[in-house]
Amino acid sequence: MKKYIYFLVIVLAFGMLVACGNESDKEENSEAGSDADNNTEQSGDEYEFQLSSMFPEDHPNTAAAKEFIEKVEERSDGRIKIELFPANQLGDPTVVYQEIGKGTIDMSLMSAPSNFDERLEFLYLPYLVTDFDQLEEVYGLDSYVFETTHDIHSKQNIKLLGFHGEGFGGIGTTRALDNPADMDEDKNMMIRIPQMDLFKKFSESLGFRTVSIPFADLYMALQTGQAEGWIGGQPASNYTNFKDVLTHYYQYNNFFEMQSLIINQDIWDGMSEEDQEILQTAGVEMTTESFKNAEKFDQEFRDKLEEYGIEVILLEEEEIEKLAQETRENLWPQFKDSLTEEIIDGLLENIN
């Protein structure tokens, strides 16, 4: 009996040692597995994106896109690689925007077309802002403009990461204007406009006749006289695209050209929070830096226009403010049907 009890004690003790050993192995394996999981999360997935942009190599917009790419690749330790295709190499903005919604193009820095949602034209309302001091308040990442743009893009399966401010728009012409700041005064000039009713009505309110010509054909139109000017482009765009055919540039500050940095929503949703933060942070920095640099670039390219022999005319601050007041009071309400009353009233409330 004593031998039996002794044997039983030994068996129980051995069983406890085995159990403790197994538990220890489990804990070690669990810790090893946790370390492996952490390493996997840190390494993350690898991506190769295409980023389409509109402007040529020597444009500040292209430089900003390259800087964004460098930051993303560096902060992801090279896991997120982005190839830049400037100068509309992947297609015009309408095509690219549609393909981003589908996911066949990954990203873009572009002027968002209104073909798929007319409300996006609110970004081109003349005189949303009139000077550089208002940019952060009106276009910042917590602004009414940004939130509204973000919501409209999301309906097309597109995520807005940030803006890139290009500069204030004006009118480039092939001959001089007699009365640039007078509303309703006949300018006796045909200018090119985008195919938007908003640009047509605003240009006509300034006294211009208008013709809608594709941007790709604009150089030839200015060269042949089909158009004697064009509205909208900031100094950099007038210099890099049309310096050989223009004779005058008028700084109207009629709108602030803003490019949207966008990515396909499904791609965004499939990324880890860590990788989303890398892209979003770089987008925020692009927005902030562009606001700081826009005034410098406008002046730099106005100087280049003058050096090239193009006469640059700056409207007086009082003239711009008068144009802005008359445009907001008389023109904006005409777009409550197309842009919605909610957006027009929201903009007026936030600007005021």
Domain containing residue 326: CATH number: 3.40.190.170
More confident position, 336 or 22? 336
User: What confidence category does residue 43 fall into, taking pLDDT thresholds of 50, 70 and 90?
Assistant: very low
Q: Does residue 24 lie within any of the structural domains?
A: no
How high is the pLDDT of residue 44? 79
For residue 145, being part of any structural domain is answered with yes
Structure tokens at 103: 């996911």
Flag whether pLDDT at 120 surpasses 70.
yes
Pair 191, 327 in one domain: yes
| Residue 13 confidence (pLDDT) | 44
- Per-residue pLDDT band for 242 (boundaries 50, 70, 90) equals very high
Could you tell me if 182 and 268 lie in one domain? no
Same domain for 159 and 80: yes
Say yes or no to pLDDT of 15 above 50: no
The answer to whether residues 103 and 248 belong to one domain is no
* Assigned domain for 276 exists: yes
* Residue closest to 57 by CA, chosen among 80, 88, 82: 88
Q: DSSP character for 178?
A: S
Q: In what order do the strands lie in the sheet with 209-212?
A: 209-212, 190-193, 229-231, 171-173, 248-251, 311-314
Q: What average pLDDT does this structure show over 182-204?
A: 94
% of the chain with per-residue pLDDT over 90: 79
Q: pLDDT-derived band of residue 10, with 50, 70 and 90 as boundaries?
A: very low
**In terms of domains, do 87 and 212 share one?**
no
pLDDT band per the 50, 70, 90 thresholds, residue 317:
very high
pTM exceeds 0.85, yes or no: no
- Count the Cβ atoms, other than its own, within 10 Å of residue 223: 13
**Is residue 125 in some structural domain?**
no
pLDDT exceeds 90 at position 277: yes
Note whether 224 and 104 are same-domain residues: no
- Shared domain check, 149 and 199: no
Domain span at residue 100 reads 45-112+141-167+259-297
199 shares a domain with 154? no
Q: Give yes or no: residues 179 and 328 share one domain.
A: yes
The SS3 of residue 10 is helix
Question: What tokens were used for 268?
Answer: 């965004």
Asked whether residue 191 carries a pLDDT value surpassing 60, the answer given is yes
The answer to whether residues 307 and 291 belong to one domain is no
